[in-house]
């Protein structure tokens, strides 16, 4: 199977963007977007009882991997602020679904949308 991604985005306001912002979903569901490279410690300095994890590194029945303070948030990625009290707890399916719903609601109000929806099923073999 291949990797499925769209590399070009367009703003709801009409402007073209080559690099979508890094997006951080806060505990309260608020979305914070960064158009520049930013270290995790910069975000964490305003959220001292939290850690950051990438949506790409979260798996069911595994604790959420914490980003190191000097790790840089990648443009176009979605990150979650999570309470330190949950740093050692494995993520349940319910937790992951709740995070997905929170991200979906936050992203709904984001001014950035893909210009096309990629077909991710081209490489899947039918039975």
- Segment 104-120 mean pLDDT: 58
Domain count, the chain: 1
Residue 123 lies in a domain: no
Tokens 């199977």, residue?
A: 1
Give the separation between CA 28 and CA 38, rounded to whole angstroms.
21
Residue 121 lies in a domain: no
Residue 112: pLDDT band with limits 50, 70, 90: low
Residue 126 lies in a domain: no
- Return the structure tokens found at 84: 């330190």
Q: Taking 60 as the threshold, does the pLDDT of residue 11 lie above it?
A: no
Residue 98 lies in a domain: yes
Chain segment 34-88, per-residue pLDDT in tens: 999 899 999 999 999 999 999 999 999 999 999 999 999 999 999 999 999 999 9
CATH number at residue 30: 3.10.20.30
What's 106's DSSP letter? H
Give the separation between CA 51 and CA 114, rounded to whole angstroms.
28
**What residues make up the domain containing 38?**
9-114
Residue 125 lies in a domain: no
pTM for this model (two decimals): 0.71
Residue 78 lies in a domain: yes
Residue 3 lies in a domain: no
Tokens 């963007």, residue?
A: 17
Give the separation between CA 112 and CA 95, rounded to whole angstroms.
26
């Amino acid at each position: 199977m291949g990797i499925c991604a769209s590399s070009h985005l367009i703003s709801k306001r009409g402007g073209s963007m080559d690099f979508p912002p890094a997006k951080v979903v806060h505990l309260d569901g608020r979305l914070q977007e960064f158009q520049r490279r930013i270290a995790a410690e910069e975000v964490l300095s305003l959220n001292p009882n939290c850690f950051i994890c990438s949506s790409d590194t979260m798996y069911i029945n595994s604790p959420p991997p914490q980003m190191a303070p000097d790790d840089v948030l990648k443009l176009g990625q979605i990150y979650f602020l999570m309470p330190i009290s949950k740093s050692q707890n494995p993520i349940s399916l319910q937790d992951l679904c709740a995070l997905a719903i929170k991200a979906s609601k936050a992203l709904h109000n984001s001014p950035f949308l893909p210009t096309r929806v990629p077909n991710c099923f081209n490489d899947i073999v039918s039975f």
